[in-house]
Amino acid sequence: MIRPRKMFTILLFSILAASIMTLPGLGQCYGLPSPGEGEERIFAQSACAGVSNDPPNPTVFTIDEEKTITKIGTYHWNDATGESPGTIGLRDEQGKTYGPWQAEGESGQGGVPNAYWVVYLSSALDLPAGTYTIIDSSPSTWSYTYESEDCGLAAVIGLKDGSENGISAPCAGDGVDYSPRSPTDLYDAGPGLVPGQYNIWYGKRTGTQIGTPDKWSKLGPEELVGGTFYVFDVTAANLGEATPQMIDPRLTNPAPGESLVWLKLSSEDAYVVCFDGPLDGGLQLAGAWKMSGHQEGFNDWKADLNLKKDGTLEWTETEGANVGANRQGTWQFDGTALTLNWVSPGGGQTSWVSQSVTEKSISSGTYTVERAPGGTWSAMRVTKGF
């Protein structure tokens, strides 16, 4: 049996452990995230009391002028068990959503795992003046206390007024300037890109110098997959997959070797956007190549190959049994294997594969033909002419 004094000690420890224990000063109990150099708390509650789950009131804050947000956090004590990190987002009074962003877990008092959820915005978010509600993906485990007026405990960190992140986009020279659009026509075509990892650099432009934003922000690295259509929302700093026909019924899905990005622009401000990448060692294979190979049981051959940036290709035989034969198809490079595909009038489906690929040469390739013998092939990049 637990003696009354011991029971009181255990109860007291539990109450203290359920409190926010970051104490910058006497009477102040702020949770994570904390402001770093050049940052300040845009919104936070100082709450030292024990907490409960499932706040009955929304967590709302107001800013009187535009602020640059760098971190957002919520608290999930959850009876000393924490909660696997979910997402955190913001919603303005008009219903526009920023994010949501995947949070990272940080330990709380006593080592409780994932008691804090923290979003570190790799691209600082320029948030206009207004009132915002913090959206947490797990309200049932979100902590609150009477000190937070029964609202979920949260913190929003941003740059101090006058602070500049001093970032210059590596792709600034390729930046595209997009003027404000009609609210009924916000979408515009962006680039077709070779699949891989990219940083998306963007910034609002209020000045008169075209192509120069007030400040560059970065989203990424983001993995762009071949054959996938994306939309980048410049005001929400969000990249997501989409169905092209939802934007324009005339649009089609990109080719297997291409990642296609469209932009959702602002109706109020001009924006400058550029794409830096691929960052993951992705090879830039688009361009002209000289091929040579051997078809089993037949002859050697040579051909001109043009790999186009949109994932299509054109192949023309220059030496062999079918000089002048022209084929059109598709190509895709997944980081390891280069695959070419087309249909031959007499041979049917043809597939070419090589896993020995550099930006200047392709070797040890093999190919198969549906109704004819296959063979081997290689290619060298054409540096001048075609």
> Taking residues 10-17, what's their average pLDDT?
37
pLDDT at 94 over 80: yes
pLDDT at 28 over 80: no
Residue after which a domain boundary falls, among 276, 309, 338: 276
Q: Which long-range contacts (CB under 8 A, 24 or more apart) does 209-215 make?
A: 210/177, 211/172, 211/175, 211/176, 211/177, 211/272, 212/272, 213/175, 213/271, 213/272, 215/68, 215/126, 215/164, 215/165, 215/167
pLDDT for res 283: 67
pLDDT for res 48: 84
- Contact call for residues 167 and 248 (beta carbons, < 8 A): no
Q: DSSP letter at 225?
A: P
Domain-located, residue 295:
yes
**At which residue do the structure tokens 């934003």 appear?**
213
pLDDT at 385 over 50: no
- Contact call for residues 232 and 238 (beta carbons, < 8 A): yes
As a whole number of angstroms, the distance between CA 192 and CA 262 comes to: 9
What is the token pair recorded at 275?
Answer: 């794409």
Phi (first) and psi of residue 172, to 5 degrees? -55, -35
Residue after which a domain boundary falls, among 276, 298, 328: 276
Report pLDDT digits (tens) over 33-83.
888 877 889 999 988 888 999 999 999 999 998 888 989 999 999 999 999
pLDDT for res 225: 86
Percentage of residues of the chain with pLDDT beyond 90: 48
Domain-located, residue 26:
yes
Domain-located, residue 191:
yes
- Within 10 angstroms of residue 269's Cβ, the number of other Cβ atoms is 18
> Taking residues 184-190, what's their average pLDDT?
94
Domain-located, residue 373:
yes
Q: Do 299 and 359 fall within a single domain?
A: yes
As a whole number of angstroms, the distance between CA 31 and CA 21 comes to: 7
What is the token pair recorded at 298?
Answer: 């037949």
As a whole number of angstroms, the distance between CA 103 and CA 322 comes to: 59
Task: Please report, as a single letter, which amino acid is at residue 326.
Answer: N
* pTM of model > 0.85: no
- Contact call for residues 221 and 201 (beta carbons, < 8 A): no
Domain-located, residue 11:
no
Residue after which a domain boundary falls, among 276, 300, 329: 276
Domain-located, residue 35:
yes
Q: Do 42 and 143 fall within a single domain?
A: yes
Percentage of residues of the chain with pLDDT beyond 70: 88
Q: Give the residue, 375 or 346, on which the prediction is more confident.
A: 375
Q: Identify the bridge partners of residue 239 per DSSP, sorted by sequence position.
A: 232
- Contact call for residues 27 and 46 (beta carbons, < 8 A): yes
Report pLDDT digits (tens) over 119-159.
988 667 888 899 999 999 999 999 999 999 999 999 999 88
As a whole number of angstroms, the distance between CA 244 and CA 262 comes to: 9
Task: Specify the CATH number for the domain of residue 334.
Answer: 2.40.128.120
pLDDT-based confidence at 280, cuts 50/70/90? low
pLDDT for res 168: 67
pLDDT at 237 over 50: yes
Helices (H) and strands (E) in the chain, counts: 2, 28
Q: Do 260 and 292 fall within a single domain?
A: no
Q: How many domains does the chain have?
A: 3
Q: Domain containing 324: what range?
A: 287-381
- Contact call for residues 36 and 46 (beta carbons, < 8 A): no
What is the token pair recorded at 87?
Answer: 């997402």
What is the token pair recorded at 315?
Answer: 């192949």
2: region left, alpha or beta (phi > 0 left; psi from -120 to 50 alpha): beta
- Tell me the pairing of strands 228-233 and 259-264: parallel
